[in-house]
Every structure is written in C-alpha cells, then in structure tokens.
Structure 1
Amino acid sequence: MSAPHSTSEPVSKNIVWHEGVSQKQREELVGQRGVTIWFTGLSASGKSTLACALELELLQRGKRAFRLDGDNVRFGLNKDLGFSPKDREENIRRVGEVAKLVASSCTTTLTAFISPYLADRALARKIHEDSSIPFLEVFVDAPLEEVEKRDPKGLYAKARAGVIKEFTGISAPYEAPEKPELHIKTNETSIEEGVAHIVAYLEKNNFI
C-alpha cells in the first residue's frame, strides 16, 4: 500500500511509509471512530471554553477525547513561531498534522485555535482528508464588540493601544468559515447548549 498523500514533500528521500494496524482494524478494536473537531473564531469567542466542556462531557461518557489548545501548543511544539501570516500558517499546518495523528488513534480530537485564514484551515482539512480522517469545522461566532467586552486576557485593549501588533480582528484579518459543519453563536447560546448541539451532531453521524 502506498503512503498517504501529503500536502508537502519530506526533505529526506530516504524514508519509506511503514504500514501497521489499519484504521478500520483500530476502530473495530477500540469501538470508536476518530475525528477532529476544529474550533475556529476570534480570541475570546469561547473556543477553548467550549472545547474544554465538550472534552469533559465526552470523557464522562466513557469516550476517548483530547484537546489541543492554541496557547498551550505555543508553550511547546510551536514555541518557535510568532504571529506573522507565515508563522500562523506553519502553526496551523503542524497542529493539523498532530490532530490527524491523535484522531487516527480513534480519539475525538478537539482543536481550539483562532486559525484566521481560510487557506490554512483548508490545509488542515486536506491533511485529514488525505488520510481519510474525518474533519469537522466549528465556527465559534461572537461579534467583535462582544469579544472586546469579554477580553479575559486584556489582549484587545493592548491591540487597540498598539502594544500588540497583528492582532486578529483589530490589526489582522479574520476570514470566517464559508461552510462550517457547525456554527455556534456564543453570544446567543450557552456553553451547555453548544456542547449538546455538538454531541447531537456526533451521535447522528456515528462518531460517538
């Protein structure tokens, strides 16, 4: 069997893809399908809060779930990246690859990243699709005036003052999803309602 198509070619030519347990075998043995749920939205829109609540709900149901958070990943895997468009692109590419690996272990993988660019999220989706791993985009939507009111980290205030450069929604663009699998407006929907909505979608599509 040939290696899964990649979105970029490895630098080394002296490597060969090694097959092991198939995805179908793994899913049958574990009893759960792997899927990545990609939360995207402005800072303070509720991505991490929603992802945390969903992770807890799934674990309490006895399901495998694991969350990758935007800030947390930058403390380790992506600590060498800043917030320029190029660095943002590489940030999302790496996270897309890691999420695919975690999801391939038959785990519901939750990623909470601003991921402001359509092209970068399309790349993350392609990374999954090329390996036949389901990818669900969740647009966590809240108006700019609402997230500025929340501003739990004080980032919007710093961006307005010019202290933070290239801040999404203020001095850098956010490209909203065109066709997300789920669209949750956190200024109209409670976290509990949002979790219930996502769980219903997962159940309906046999992901849990």
Structure 2
Amino acid sequence: MTDINKVKVAMAAILINNHLNELVLDDPDELDDPVRVVWYDKNNYPYEDYVTKVMWDGKELSLEVVANEFPKHETLYEYDFAFTNVEWLSGIRDNMLETLRNQGLNPCPVCGKPMKGRQHYCSDGCRKAAAPPPTVQEVIDTANRHIRALVNKLIEYEPRIHAGECPEGEYYEEKDCTGKSCALCRKRYYNKLKKKMLEKYSVGL
C-alpha cells in the first residue's frame, strides 16, 4: 500500500476484526522485519525506537515504543511524526499480522480477519484487494481486446443493416457490377473497413 490513510485503516481493521483494543507486538528479534520509528520528545529532540504495541481507541490509532534512553514506554499519536511515514506504517501492519500468526491464528493478509482451514483470503473482496494493480501494458491489452470485440460486432451487423445494397457505392447507391461477385466484394470491403477501424481506435503507448 502506498496511501498512508489506507494503511492506517488496514491497521485499525486488524484490531477491530480480532476484537482487540491493542496488540502487543512480538519482540524485535522474533519478527522478520521489526520497525523502528523516529519520535520527538517535548524538547523536540529526536529518538529512534522499536514499536512494541499498536492501540485503537475506537477513533484513532496510537503506537507505543520502548524509549531505550529512558526507563519508560512512550505513546505516539496520529498527529506525531511516526504516522507520517507510509513505509513505517506498512511495516508495522506487517508486524501485526506476523504477531497474530505467531500466536497460532490465521489472519487474512488484507483485513486481518481470522480465517479457518487453508483459506488464503477471507473473501473475494480481500482477494481482489491483494491483487497487484494492472500494468500500463495490461490496461492497453484489455482495452484493445474490448475494442476488437466491438469492431467485430459492428462488422457483423453492418451487412445485415445494408442488405442488398452495394457497400462501395456512394451512399449505397446502385452501381454496375456486371460480372463481379457481390460476396467477394463485400468481404474485401468489410475487411478493409475493419482494418481502418482497428488502426484508428486501438490504443498504444
């Protein structure tokens, strides 16, 4: 996730879906990638410490860090500097899920909701949310696939609309085609029309 608000919503969802007001994270040496955040004291002096707990009061999140230079824990709120870095928050969210897994639970990797059995996601919505966004090329390929389908459908119905009329005549006026095959003429005409339409409307980089 790259949207900081979405990450905070996801963190809150993990607590809510597990009926928790707080979650004490595993010790830093037990986590794959423990997160340290920068915070400032009342004198605006910076410190960098590990996050040990995530809390939710029903309205906003807060974090607890172990202030190594002092024998105390420090609570950081959403207006603090620690909540301005999306990479830190994403890492804390991952630490929350890892802690729940280490407790023997099977949280959904998107919303944290407990799952049963061998489920990978709790719902189709979470499965779709976890899917990576399409690349530019994938979007172009999908658009062109729909465009080709539309053009094919237009070409399919065009001869039916103008049945009995010569497609090469101006405004479908009658013309002398003595000795010519109408079927072959129509096929060539509509193949040419299809090619022009695809060249005009297909999307490219």
Please give the range of the TM-score, normalised by the shorter of the 2 chains: under 0.3
TM-score normalised by the chain length of structure 1: 0.20
Higher-RCO chain (CA-CA 8 Å, sequence separation at least 6) = 1
Structure with higher Rg: it is: 2
TM-score normalised by the chain length of structure 2: 0.21
